[in-house]
A and B are shown apart, each in its own frame.
Chain A
């Protein structure tokens, strides 16, 4: 079996090498990829879309339809993690920690409901006390990370950035919170339900902006048709449309990142996890 695999790998490699024979030269300015469509984008994008960042213009306008489905892929990944991993069953054993002294109670009978006051908190067997230095540093860092994420989202159409990058940065701030404190701290600030709703809502903003263009008399995602709905300079309507969809992407990516992280580290139990 290994031998057959080896032969197949060699054949595939040979095929790929054979295909490189007629590649255009490295960096060739006359290669088809750099003369056919690219020129149009480079010369006309600013004029047609009023967006100085060409990459964003291609990504969110000329080929915005692809990007919409990429966002749907992200949503789909988050949903799949939730669907497959989320475990609603109750645990057999439970642990409670006395916050002041650190004494731990171990309840073996899951049927008994133990009523605890505020001085006890629910915890897990694999709980590790978190470090004061790490906690403090992360507490200072997280707001800055989040502000930066918002800048990246908002600046997508003028400079490098955009919804995917901003969403990932924002999502990583949530993950940092979960790592430096614990998963429960994150979940007490951002409920699972909120994350679930936002993941769908983000994509819905994108698809919704596209869909509104249809009753306004345009094709799907044709931002120009939104002019009557949006106050301000009609020349910038495409830029505004792109900003709208980038915000949708950012929300969806943030929520999907958090959902994926939470479900994978805690194996769907949503206890303390990693």
Chain B
């Protein structure tokens, strides 16, 4: 029997529990336990992706019960890709985090790793499951763990940011749950495929419409689509950096995945784009989200905050692409899940290196950083170019598909917003480059300024290697994006 699909989720869960035991017995063991758990998970995800590419969708019955009765993991090309992405990023981040966890949450590192593993378990479970209620339970785990992590961050502002996040996050989750309740009333089932089959006969029902709207609003709150984004910037910028590096690239992207999953598998394109006429409104909303995110990013004085607003902007790209109602737009949105996760991860790794050395990353603190941390800044330049969308990097390709999709759907406003926001990102990042490259290093900075002007104070090697690898992967993902689209995304959409 092939147990890899379950192992993807169970390995980090088991590791979390053993790490939780290690907190009380020998705290230093929790880090290697966490590494092993995530390595097993990433390996299983890789195996599953290969299997799915070879032989199609995998169905895994939990406890051996057939789907509508029991819970089923249903892994197709889209899940398999996101699963590998999530487990890979979580593993790499853990490799890079050892030092910064010691620096930030030294006395409770064991509990930190336990919560970290539970968070990753939640994300993986959300991605793998084929059951609407199971999805909710795992959203609950991801949310609960991220509330705890955010509160653990900045001593003064972390708890307040976390409280805001709790209020809004709980509302989002309950909207989704309410939507699932409405669906259950009309279908009597929780399995996604089963629900979809029953729904295809009752498209006109007002209850189904309300269920759809509630689910979408719940997920939008969780992914921080523009008017519902207020929790995100503070929550992500005041959490411990080792956690920010994994939550920023993954949480929102997994929620975008959930939205796409609900749209394609549960409600179906026919229902959304033919029975309903909401698509135009949502594309407009996404357009506003893109512009608002970009403009708010422009007004930030702190690098971390600026990046969090860029996330808000990127969410707009993906939502807009998914609601374009054509294959090109959806391809762009799915490709952007992958690319944006990598880009954001690369950026936050770099910021992690800076925070490790500088403690604060207000833009004024970054003066002369090219001289001090050349390797880190090289990674930053690559990631920034990718966010802007300069051709050989992966950011360009997904934006290209999104623009093509927008033209095909006649959503010229969306294409315009996309280009404008790219320009704003260019302005933003070149502003940062300018500060880091041309402005002289402040005199009082560093204790060795009697020796030479440019004191190289790089981050630890483990952090540098990971951030270097991820930055290079941006180019690799760009060069192979044709392969990704042809082997994963297009066969999935057919």
A binds B: yes
A residues lining the B interface (CB < 8 Å): 15-16, 18-24, 31-38, 40-41, 61-66, 69-70, 72-73, 75-77, 79-80, 82-84, 86, 88, 193, 196-197, 199-201, 203-204, 207-208, 210-211, 214, 217-224
Q: How far is the CB of B186 from chain A (nearest CB, A)?
A: 6
Classify chain B: how many residues form its interface, as a range: 35 or more
Q: List residues of chain B with CB within 8 A of the CB of A196.
A: 20, 23-24
Q: Which of B3, B178, B182, B184 lies at the interface centre, i.e. has the most chain A CB atoms within 10 A of its CB?
A: B3
Give Cα A24 to B184, complex, Å.
11
Contact partner of A75 among B20, B24, B70, CB < 8 A?
Answer: B20
Give Cα A32 to B208, complex, Å.
13
Query: How many pairs, one residue from A and one from B, have CB atoms within 8 Å of each other in the complex?
Result: 170
Q: List residues of chain B with CB within 8 A of the CB of A37.
A: 68-69, 188-189
Contact partner of B69 among A41, A66, A86, CB < 8 A?
Answer: A41
Give Cα A193 to B112, complex, Å.
17
* Contact A201–B21 (Cβ < 8 Å): yes
CB-based nearest B residue for A67: B137
Give Cα A33 to B68, complex, Å.
13
* Contact B148–A84 (Cβ < 8 Å): yes
Contact partner of A23 among B7, B62, B68, B207, CB < 8 A?
Answer: B207
Q: List residues of chain B with CB within 8 A of the CB of A64.
A: 62-63
CB-based nearest A residue for B63: A221
Give Cα A82 to B198, complex, Å.
45
* Contact B111–A65 (Cβ < 8 Å): no
Give Cα A193 to B70, complex, Å.
37
CB-based nearest B residue for A203: B17
Chain A interface helix/strand/loop/mixed: helix
B45-82, CB < 8 A from A: 60-65, 68-71
CB-based nearest A residue for B205: A22
Contact partner of B6 among A40, A70, A214, A217, CB < 8 A?
Answer: A214
CB-based nearest B residue for A63: B71
Q: List residues of chain B with CB within 8 A of the CB of A77.
A: 144
Given contacts A33-B188, A61-B65, 17 further A-B contacts (CB under 8 A): A32-B189, A36-B198, A37-B188, A62-B63, A62-B65, A65-B70, A65-B71, A66-B134, A72-B121, A79-B148, A84-B148, A200-B20, A204-B21, A214-B6, A220-B6, A222-B64, A224-B64
Given the known A-B contacts A34-B188, A41-B69, are A220 and B10 also in contact in the complex, defined by CB atoms under 8 Å?
Answer: yes
Q: Does B455 contact A (CB under 8 A)?
A: no
Q: Does B433 contact A (CB under 8 A)?
A: no
Given the known A-B contacts A83-B108, A219-B3, are A63 and B70 also in contact in the complex, defined by CB atoms under 8 Å?
Answer: yes
Mark B147-162 against chain A: 1 for CB-CB distance below 8 A, else 0.
1100110000000000
Q: Does B187 contact A (CB under 8 A)?
A: yes
Q: Does B185 contact A (CB under 8 A)?
A: yes
Mark B414-445 against chain A: 1 for CB-CB distance below 8 A, else 0.
00000000000000000000000000000000
* Contact A73–B140 (Cβ < 8 Å): yes
Q: How far is the CB of B47 from chain A (nearest CB, A)?
A: 14
11 A-B contacts, Cβ less than 8 Å apart? A18-B206, A19-B209, A22-B207, A66-B133, A76-B148, A79-B20, A79-B114, A83-B115, A214-B6, A220-B10, A220-B62
Q: List residues of chain B with CB within 8 A of the CB of A84.
A: 148, 151-152
* Contact B145–A33 (Cβ < 8 Å): no
Q: Does B168 contact A (CB under 8 A)?
A: no
* Contact A69–B207 (Cβ < 8 Å): no
* Contact B1–A19 (Cβ < 8 Å): no
Q: List residues of chain B with CB within 8 A of the CB of A18.
A: 206, 210
Q: Does B293 contact A (CB under 8 A)?
A: no
CB-based nearest B residue for A191: B24
Q: List residues of chain B with CB within 8 A of the CB of A38.
A: 188
CB-based nearest B residue for A69: B137
Q: List residues of chain B with CB within 8 A of the CB of A214.
A: 1, 3, 6-7
* Contact A83–B137 (Cβ < 8 Å): no
Give Cα A211 to B62, complex, Å.
11
* Contact A76–B17 (Cβ < 8 Å): no
Q: List residues of chain B with CB within 8 A of the CB of A69.
A: 125, 134, 137-138, 140-141
Q: List residues of chain A with CB within 8 A of the CB of B186.
A: 22, 32
Q: List residues of chain A with CB within 8 A of the CB of B69.
A: 37, 40-41, 62
Given the known A-B contacts A72-B118, A79-B20, A83-B108, are A219 and B60 also in contact in the complex, defined by CB atoms under 8 Å?
Answer: yes
Q: Does B13 contact A (CB under 8 A)?
A: yes
Q: Does B363 contact A (CB under 8 A)?
A: no
Contact partner of B210 among A19, A88, A210, CB < 8 A?
Answer: A19
Contact partner of B3 among A35, A203, A220, CB < 8 A?
Answer: A220
* Contact A24–B185 (Cβ < 8 Å): yes
Give Cα A222 to B64, complex, Å.
6
Give Cα A204 to B10, complex, Å.
11
Q: List residues of chain A with CB within 8 A of the CB of B62.
A: 64-65, 219-221
Q: How far is the CB of B70 from chain A (nearest CB, A)?
A: 5
Q: List residues of chain B with CB within 8 A of the CB of A223.
A: 63
Give Cα A35 to B188, complex, Å.
7
Give Cα A214 to B213, complex, Å.
39
Give Cα A41 to B68, complex, Å.
11
Q: How far is the CB of A87 from chain B (nearest CB, A)?
A: 11
Given the known A-B contacts A21-B206, A22-B207, A65-B62, are A197 and B141 also in contact in the complex, defined by CB atoms under 8 Å?
Answer: no
Contact partner of A32 among B107, B115, B187, B213, CB < 8 A?
Answer: B187
Q: Does B479 contact A (CB under 8 A)?
A: no
Give Cα A244 to B23, complex, Å.
25
Q: Does B211 contact A (CB under 8 A)?
A: yes
Q: Does B14 contact A (CB under 8 A)?
A: yes
Q: How far is the CB of A54 from chain B (nearest CB, A)?
A: 13
Contact partner of B64 among A24, A72, A211, A218, CB < 8 A?
Answer: A218
Q: How far is the CB of B105 from chain A (nearest CB, A)?
A: 9
Q: List residues of chain B with CB within 8 A of the CB of A219.
A: 1, 3, 6, 60-64
Q: List residues of chain B with CB within 8 A of the CB of A208.
A: 14
* Contact A193–B210 (Cβ < 8 Å): no
* Contact A73–B17 (Cβ < 8 Å): no
Give Cα A70 to B118, complex, Å.
12
* Contact B141–A76 (Cβ < 8 Å): yes
Q: How far is the CB of B416 from chain A (nearest CB, A)?
A: 29
CB-based nearest A residue for B21: A200
Q: How far is the CB of B283 from chain A (nearest CB, A)?
A: 21
